[in-house]
Amino acid sequence: MPAIEHLRPRPSGHRSGRDRAPGFLGRMRQRRAQRDYEASVLTFAYTLKGEFRDACEYLRVCHYVSVAAGITVRTPRVGEVRVGPPISFTVELMPGQEPEDFRKPGRRMAHTLGAHGLRIEPLAGRWVRLVLLEADPLAEHFGLPPVTAGSGTETVLLGRTEDRTTLGHAIADPAHLAVQGMNGSGKSAFVYGLLAQLCAAPDVLVAGSDITGLLLGRVWDDTAHREWQVVGTHDLEAHAALLEQLVAEMDRRLATIPRREDKITPTVTVPTVLVVLEEFPGLLRAAGAVPKPKSGKSLAERIVSAQLRLLSEGRKAAFRVLTLAQRFEATAVGGGYARDQFALRLSFRVPADSLAMLHGDDARPFGQEHANADPGIAYLSGLGRDCERIRVPHLGDYGEYVDRIQSYGRRAES
């Protein structure tokens, strides 16, 4: 039972007649109701402060101070309590504390107080307001508006945070993207949305490998992107050949970087190449089953080394790699070094250890709950943002994806 329910003060419902001035008894009743209400607010604030203090102590958002009698615990001081809704209270930061320090323990703190989540609003000076969210702000559906970027430098929609900030990203910014999530967690649907936003940009090329053949391939028929995509498992050599062709293009670009510049500026003739690698560990597994040739590298080795070169040198040459995997284990994605190259990381529903594997130990406290997340709910980290829970926009059903790519996908010049 949510603890906060019985803490909420109940304003008295008493009202005198609309037109009649209250008589003596009426005025007494009003005054009494007012007093009762004020007393209940004070009790409520007192109880809330106590529970907040306990939560801070348990979650170690506190200072331990040595005194003669032993150790005492200091927790952040609570100022004004608003009964809401939503319930909120101001807190004075302790020395060395930052508003961000409430983010990680925020959810547990909110649960202790009977709420779903905590929003942190920095105020003037050393004060923050903590707002108790009664419901999951990400439960609401987030449809992808029918927008397409006119250039790779334009921002595309990535998702919406719990405090309703919309996050965007320009594909021309030098970052590779890692997307992990269990089967059915919404990885592919997220990338449908991303590619639908990018498919029309004249300075973006959507290339890549997709053994499922749903994300790339047939959907892209008649667009300029299609010839740079390889799908299915019938010809695994074609996947390695495509990646090697992309590496060759990257090398060609690297050799032509103007002398006074350190990177390629994407244009219509030299577009940003987004290399999508759908179910990459699956591709490696399938390639691993192909017998090794008598001389030279195996198919899997060729794929891994091409991916590694695109990851480590591609940024300067306007190549962006977008790798999808159920788990970003080092062995499944071509090694720890390869994994370290992804600046933007998203995790849809994954087991707790996978979350920490991609986002670091900071994400560990979120692991247990995120292991049951709904499709479309992800943790995002990188590009200057701490690990944050978001809902990604949903394009709709698969038919909608097909329609958008077919309607807006950039056509090959005839």
Binding residues for ATP: 181-188
Q: Are strands 319-325 and 176-180 parallel, antiparallel or unpaired?
A: parallel
Closest approach of ligand ADP to the CB of residue 115, in Å: 24
**Coil vs helix vs strand at 233:** coil
Q: Are residues 111 and 51 in contact, defined by beta-carbon separation less than 8 angstroms? A: no
Strand runs labelled E in 124-269: 127-133, 155-161, 166-170, 176-180, 204-210, 229-231
Asked if 307 touches Mg ion (CB under 5 A), the answer is: no
Asked if 176 touches ligand ADP (CB under 6 A), the answer is: no
Question: How big is the site for ligand ADP, counted in residues (CB under 6 A)?
Answer: 13
Stretch that binds Mg ion, among 71-79, 184-192, 315-323, 329-337 (CB under 5 A): 184-192
- Residues in the annotated binding site: 181-188
Closest approach of ligand ADP to the CB of residue 15, in Å: 45
Q: Are residues 277 and 284 in contact, defined by beta-carbon separation less than 8 angstroms? A: no
Asked if 215 touches ligand ADP (CB under 6 A), the answer is: no
**Coil vs helix vs strand at 124:** coil
Beta bridge partners of 169: 156
Q: Are residues 89 and 52 in contact, defined by beta-carbon separation less than 8 angstroms? A: yes
Site for ligand ADP in 339-358 (CB under 6 A): 348
Closest approach of ligand ADP to the CB of residue 348, in Å: 6
User: Is the preceding omega at residue 86 within 30 degrees of 0, hence cis?
Assistant: yes
**Structure tokens of 5?**
């329910």
- Each residue 360-389 as x (binds ligand ADP by CB under 6 A) or -, in order, gives ---------------xx-------------
Residue ranges of alpha helices (H) inside 314-378 are 336-340, 352-359, 367-370
Stretch that binds ligand ADP, among 101-109, 182-190, 283-291, 352-360 (CB under 6 A): 182-190
Task: Quote the CA–CA distance of 300 and 397 in Å, as a whole number.
Answer: 33
Asked if 184 touches ligand ADP (CB under 6 A), the answer is: yes
Asked if 181 touches ligand ADP (CB under 6 A), the answer is: yes
Q: Which residue is nearest to ligand ADP (CB)?
A: 376
Asked if 188 touches Mg ion (CB under 5 A), the answer is: yes
Asked if 354 touches Mg ion (CB under 5 A), the answer is: no
**Coil vs helix vs strand at 350:** coil
Number of Cβ within a 10 Å radius of residue 151: 19
Stretch that binds Mg ion, among 55-63, 67-75, 188-196, 306-314 (CB under 5 A): 188-196
Closest approach of ligand ADP to the CB of residue 191, in Å: 8
Asked if 323 touches Mg ion (CB under 5 A), the answer is: no
Residue 320, binding choice from Mg ion, ligand ADP, none, Cβ under 5 to 8 Å by partner class: none
Closest approach of ligand ADP to the CB of residue 359, in Å: 17
Q: Is 376 left (phi over 0), alpha (psi -120 to 50) or beta?
A: left
User: Is the preceding omega at residue 122 within 30 degrees of 0, hence cis?
Assistant: no
Applying CB under 6 A, the residues found at the interface with ligand ADP are: 181, 183-189, 348, 375-376, 392, 394
